[in-house]
A and B are shown apart, each in its own frame.
Chain A
Amino acid sequence: MNATAAIATARAAVEAARASPQSRKKAMLAALLIDAAVDALFEMCGESDVLAFRADVCARAPQLRPVLDLAAIDGTSLVLEPVEVDIRDYPALGVEDFMVSLYNGRTVPRVLIATPDARRIDVHEALSAALAALEAEVR
């Protein structure tokens, strides 16, 4: 698959994951497809060392790092955790989140990237940022 097609496939997966915001499986699939698109970009560029190429891409576009770490399936993982909603953020909350949060201690479930150093990153924001960075690389 060429890089353009690979990125289009990854974009569709990122959109599908957003449409099912609580699905770890769809988020992981999107991460894997972004990872595959980086490899397709390597093929397109005609470089000789794929690991060096991936390191260079991540250096230029650090937004890719958490997603590629997730795709490596080695220490970084996806978790579904309740996240407390600040009262000031309520007006912007989606109706489903609003309804469910009211009787669950003002928390909503969120799919998060859990890093080995115990940080948490919203997976959908990470996927969108990584995809945008990848598209910029192609341009």
Chain B
Amino acid sequence: MPKLTLTSADGFKFNAYRADPEGKPRGGVVVIHEVWGINKWVRSVVDRFARHGYLAFAPNLLDRVSFGFESEDYAAGSAYATMADKMRAFDFKKALMDVEATVKAASEGGKVGITGYCFGGATTWRAAHAGLGLSAASGYYGGGIPNYVDLEPQVPLEMHYGDADSGIPLEQVEALKARHPNVGVYVYHAGHGFCNSDRPDKFNEDACKKASARTLEFFHKHLG
């Protein structure tokens, strides 16, 4: 079954989505969602990595603050306040425990890489810093760079940002690049969320294709 439950080291059970490749996996990939949980688009990303030969998983890292949360509603509005209120209780340390449990599950496929978008992009950097049994990490437009710029990655890492991202100042991306010359930091002519094909107002196909190709090449190099 593609939807399943995984268990963290502290016993917390959380939702996840799994997609299997045809034949023997060339590795494992963990996909971390945006702030809308493992919704339709995130599941499509997991399916895409499976089509490329990876055993792929997406954990729901929001389960600890709102169990089972997922949304297809990208419109601004009052639901924002509800989620913002729930996120008061969010704890990255616990989220990384859930990531670690997912990495363990994905390791059935071989070496494991992590990728993620927005919230998932920031989580990707934190996971790369924590190690967690990962072999590579490729994150997308993780906001709040000052909150992770000083975390040294323990595994090969690359990051993708948009130069017109109104949530992530370009000068912070520039500082990140200067601080971590060994991290591949790529900038595209695009805004925030440029890879989400379910959001026509944000999706930038050209930028996303280039970035996704880089991620795949990176995972081929480090995972197999």
- In the bound complex, residues from chain B placing their C-beta under 8 Å from that of A97 are 166-167
Residues of B within 8 A of A93 (CB): 76, 80
Verify if B122 is at the interface (C-beta below 8 Å from A): yes
Interface footprint category on B: 35 or more
Contact, CB under 8 Å: A91 / B77? yes
In the bound complex, do residue A90 and residue B84 qualify as a contact, i.e. CB atoms below 8 Å apart? yes
Chain A residues in 8 Å Cβ range of B76: 91-95, 98
A96 and B87 within 8 A (CB): no
Is A65 positioned at the interface, with any CB of B under 8 Å from its CB?
no
Q: Are B166 and A96 in contact (CB under 8 A)?
A: yes
Given contacts A104-B147, A106-B84, contact A99 B170 (CB under 8 A): no
Contact B84 A85 (CB under 8 A): yes
User: Min CB distance, B85 to chain A, in Å?
Assistant: 6
Q: Which of A61-104 contact B (CB under 8 A)?
A: 80, 82, 85, 87-88, 90-104
Query: B169: CB under 8 A from chain A?
Result: yes
Task: Tell me the complex Cα distance, A92–B77, Å.
Answer: 7
Residues of B70-126 contacting chain A, CB below 8 A: 74, 76-78, 80-81, 83-85, 87-88, 90, 92, 118-119, 122-123
Chain B: which residue is nearest A103 at the CB level? B119
A128 at the interface (CB under 8 A from B): no
Q: Are B170 and A23 in contact (CB under 8 A)?
A: yes
Decide yes or no whether A11 CB sits under 8 A from chain B: no
Tell me whether B27 is interfacial, beta carbon within 8 Å: no
- Shortest Cβ distance from B76 into A: residue: A95
Residue B183 at the A interface, CB < 8 A? Answer: no
Is A9 engaged at the interface, CB distance under 8 Å to the other chain?
A: no
- Contact check, A101 vs B166: say whether CB atoms are below 8 A apart: no
Which partner residue on chain A sits nearest B166 by CB separation?
Answer: A96
A93 nearest CB neighbor, chain B only: B80
Question: A94: which B residues are within 8 A, CB to CB?
Answer: 76, 166-167
Cβ of B193 within 8 Å of any chain A Cβ, yes or no, is: yes
**CB within 8 Å: A-B pair count:** 100
* Shortest distance from the beta carbon of B133 to any chain A beta carbon, whole Å: 23
Nearest to A104 among chain B residues (CB) is: B144
Does A115 have its Cβ within 8 Å of any Cβ on chain B?
Answer: no
Q: Give complex CA distance A82, B90 in Å.
A: 18
Question: Within 8 Å of chain A (Cβ to Cβ): is B168?
Answer: yes
Q: Contacting A96 at CB < 8 Å: which of B85, B88, B90, B167? A: B167
**A100 B171 Cβ-Cβ under 8 A:** no
Chain B residues with CB below 8 A from A90, complex form: 78, 80-81, 84
Q: A87-B85, A109-B169 are in contact. Are A100 and B143 (CB under 8 A)?
A: yes
Partner of B168 from A19, A92, A100, A106 at Cβ < 8 Å: A100
Q: Which of B142-193 contact A (CB under 8 A)?
A: 143-144, 146-147, 164-172, 191-193
List residues of chain B with CB within 8 A of the CB of A22. 166-172
Listed in ascending order, the chain A residues whose CB lies under 8 Å from chain B are 19-25, 80, 82, 85, 87-88, 90-104, 106, 108-109
17 contacts between A and B (CB under 8 A): A19-B164, A20-B164, A22-B167, A23-B169, A25-B171, A85-B84, A90-B81, A94-B167, A96-B143, A96-B192, A97-B166, A98-B84, A100-B118, A101-B84, A102-B84, A103-B87, A103-B122
Given contacts A82-B146, A100-B143, A106-B87, 14 further A-B contacts (CB under 8 A): A20-B164, A20-B170, A22-B169, A24-B171, A25-B171, A96-B168, A98-B35, A99-B118, A99-B119, A99-B167, A100-B167, A103-B123, A104-B143, A108-B167
